[in-house]
Amino acid sequence: MPFNKKLLEVVLSNINQMELYNKIKFIRLSKNLTQGYIADELGIDVANYSRLERGETSITLDRLQKIASLLEVNIAELILEDDVTSEDLQLESYLKEILMELKSINNKLN
């Protein structure tokens, strides 16, 4: 879905930064991803990424987009006020597992 970069920058500058950082950390942990993995993918060291999750450094829109991609979530899920619950993430994970199983069955049948 195309997005308006200027609008996202305005939203990013006006959202609760700590809520954003906590959401990133929560999703990362729920997907069993390490800070080291995310830091490597972002091209930064773990200490800098850790500071980001603690809210000690600001985040750019480009970096937020990369993090959303790594976490396999839509950027809107990170910046909207609605909290991502563990139940939502568990359901999403369960549905992905079902989809993978259905694809596997389909491949065997073909």
So what's the architecture of 5-82 in CATH?
Orthogonal Bundle (1.10)
Q: What is the mean pLDDT of residues 85-107?
A: 71
What token pair was written down for 27?
């999703």
% of the chain at pLDDT higher than 90: 33
Q: How much is the pTM? A: 0.61
Instruction: Tell me phi and psi for residue 73, to 5 degrees.
Output: -130, 160
pLDDT digits (tens, 9 = 90+) for 41-63: 999 999 999 999 988 888 888 89
Candidate from 41-45, 72-76, 84-88 with smallest mean pLDDT = 84-88
pLDDT at residue 1, rounded to an integer: 40
